[in-house]
Amino acid sequence: MSSLLSTDRWHRAQAWIGHSVALVDTPALVIDLDAMDRNLHRMADFASQRGLRLRPHAKMHKSAELALQQMAHGAVGVCVQKTDEAVALAQAGVGDVYISNEVIAPSKLQRLAHAARTLRTRFALAVDSVHGIDALAAALAHAGVNGRGTFDVYIEIDVGHGRCGIPPGDAAVALAQRIASHPVLHLAGLQAYHGSAQHQRDAAQRAASVAQAADAVQRTRQALQAQGFAVPLVTGAGTGTFQHEASSGVWGELQCGSYLFMDADYAANEADPGAPAFEHALFVKSAVTSRSAQHAVCDAGHKSHAIDSGLPAVAFPGGLSYFNGGDEHGVLRPATADAALPDLGETVWLIPGHCDPTVNLHDFLVGVRGGLAAGVVERMVRVDARGGIQ
């Protein structure tokens, strides 16, 4: 039995290459490739100028094609959050994948270990428990991966987000000792990502959060070094704060993901002085399917774009506000007194509130060159790890 994705829909989608963006069926998730390329270069240049490693977070786009494009422009590899993502990207040829998250289930770790043994990809994993370290070592042994120091692990510390990770300071020592007890593992450094700081609107507040995180990292590093453990690298940072991690002298690797596409939520942050500016490069192409005197209804609801970080903004036509119309509809009303409602069939371009879970709703992204108004479909970007949540 074949799936809708692998047959009918995918082939229809491929048929769009070379056609005008006007012909792309709606709703569709569209990349403005010109804007994306500018974002790609801006971040690559920033990391290069600062002498920092860039390891973009591929949980955002879940696409091997985009990961390889980032690596072709200097990224050392990518991060992911899930075993499914790591395996899917590795199978599609991405050579360096770090799971910046805890994986402790034996079945998943055996998949990972099997991939590490059979694919050309270099994997790494974050850990925050003895349980997880032992489970990883057992899975690697089971798969026959046993070269000394061949599998990199990063100890995750909670630098303020309050989710995964051990407390900063001495607690890392016990984990480092446990890692050292498994010769196949190599303590590659610390995972230190302040998730909630990314979305603090105030630039000074974000700077203060990263300063606290830097202090937490330093205390942990000192505790480890005092016990003779090297800490080769500190990895973390996101699109909302990377400028501060970069300036801290503490982080050696940046994990920003959303910069490539930008979303309405990140755009709502007060800009950091001097930081590179990123453009919206991800849009939902939608169309009006119903009209009343007071409102227009478009065909994109929250099965087309995630709304965890707010409803989408209307990029075009101007003067419209988007209201929640449920899973499959959006309700458009004039935002200003002189705004006209779009007609039946008219195209409406939306900027998603949050790119990561929006991309995860789609099997492919429509890459358009030459602008949204009159551009041409240049690439269909497969979302290789769509739905890869395990």
| Interacting positions 71-110 with a copy of itself (CB under 8 A) | 81-82, 84, 87-88, 91, 101-105, 107-108
Task: Give the whole-angstrom CA distance, residue 158 versus residue 167.
Answer: 6
Site for a copy of itself in 344-383 (CB under 8 A): 344-345, 356-357, 360-363, 382
**Under 8 Å between Cβ of 342 and 296:** yes
The footprint of a copy of itself on residues 279-318 (CB under 8 A) is 287, 289-292, 295, 297, 299-300, 302-304, 306-308
Q: Is 114 in the site for a copy of itself (CB under 8 A)?
A: no
Q: Which is nearer to a copy of itself, 80 or 281 (CB)?
A: 80
Of 9, 19, 117, 142, the residue at the interface with a copy of itself (CB under 8 A) is 9
* Closest distance of CB 139 from a copy of itself, Å: 14
Site string for a copy of itself, 322-341 (x = CB under 8 A): --xxxxxx-x----------
Q: Running DSSP on this structure, what letter comes out for residue 5?
A: I
Helix (H, G, I), strand (E, B) or coil at 348: strand
Q: Per CB under 8 A, which of residues 40..69 are in contact with a copy of itself?
A: 59
Max CA distance (Å), the chain: 73
Beta bridge partners of 258: none
Closest CA relative to residue 145, chosen from 110, 169, 173, 179: 110
Which two tokens mark 149? 């120091």
Closest contact distance (angstroms) between CB of 166 and a copy of itself is: 8
Tokens of 178: 């446990």
Nearest approach, Cβ of 376 to a copy of itself (angstroms)? 18
Binding mask 133-162 for a copy of itself (x = CB under 8 A): -------------------------x---x
Give CA–CA dist 370/33, Å, rounded.
8
List, in sequence order, every residue forming a beta bridge with 253; answer none if it has no partner.
Answer: 53, 235
| DSSP-assigned letters across all residues of 75-97 | ---EEESSHHHHHHHHHTT--EE
H-run or E-run covering 37: helix 33-50
The answer to whether the beta carbons of residues 294 and 328 sit under 8 Å apart is no
In terms of CB distance, is 47 or 176 closer to a copy of itself? 176
Q: Which is nearer to a copy of itself, 13 or 250 (CB)?
A: 13
Least distance (Å) between residue 38 CB and a copy of itself: 26
Segment near a copy of itself (CB under 8 A); pick from 19-27, 70-78, 222-230, 366-374: 19-27
Residues in the chain: 390
**Of residues 174-213, which lie at the interface with a copy of itself (CB under 8 A)?**
195
